[in-house]
Amino acid sequence: MISTVYQYVRHTLPWSSVELEGFRFDRRFKVVDIDPDLYESATRSLMREYLNPEDSLLVVGGGTGITAITASPHVSHVTAIEADVVVRDRFKHHIAINDVNNVEVHLGWVGDADDPHRPDDVDVFDLEGHTAIEIDVEGKGIPIIHQIPETVRKVFYESHPTRGVPTIDAMKHLRDAGFDIIDRRIEWPTSGNEIIFGVR
């Protein structure tokens, strides 16, 4: 219930500034908030451990840029895709205030062009040309797994059990796509979300 209400009032809540790994970000204030250092901490930790300067990272579901920008010192380039224009603009703001030169964000959709959830003014984005991918699209990522290009050797996938995608199902689809699961960590203890890391 609280989660449903929050989705409706979220856009009216004020922004607060936080610092993560030396970068500044604006976050929506929440009545019950978490320590900013814990925000996407498992994903950020896995990226620090497993990405390297030869990697080019594609972030599907870029959000406001926290994982993409904090990954930027560890890779050659980051391309992010975000389907919400307001969120994409906040991401661009974060690139600018942090003076990050190897991150770009595009307004785009990954998946079926006929999906009724795709905004009318958002084009389908091509996934080619990267060695690593992060998929965090709030429970809608299973179809994206089967679109991952052969060039991608590393995948970071956030499961969303409360949105109908149990972690075990996500892992099965990743294995079917040729990935060996070598690490997984709890991202959000209250919801059971996990970040799964696989390689091929």
Q: Which CATH topology does 34-199 take?
A: Rossmann fold (3.40.50)
**Nearest residue to 23 via CA among 88, 89, 67, 62:** 67
In whole angstroms, what is the distance from residue 28 CA to residue 86 CA? 13
10 Å Cβ neighbour count for 186?
Answer: 14
Top-confidence residue, 92 or 10? 92
pLDDT of residue 188: 82
Q: Using alpha carbons only, give the angle 101, 132, 164 rounded to the nearest 5 degrees.
A: 115
Top-confidence residue, 36 or 53? 53
Determine the average pLDDT of the residues in 155-170: 90
Average pLDDT, the chain: 89
Quick check: 160 pLDDT over 60?
Answer: yes
| Domain definitions of the chain by residue range | 34-199
When mean pLDDT is compared across 96-100, 105-109, 167-171, 185-189, the lowest value belongs to 185-189
Band of pLDDT at residue 10, cut at 50, 70 and 90: low
In whole angstroms, what is the distance from residue 150 CA to residue 128 CA? 9
pLDDT of residue 138: 82
When mean pLDDT is compared across 29-38, 56-65, 158-167, 171-180, the lowest value belongs to 29-38
Q: What is the pTM of this model?
A: 0.89
Band of pLDDT at residue 75, cut at 50, 70 and 90: very high
Quick check: 85 pLDDT over 80?
Answer: yes
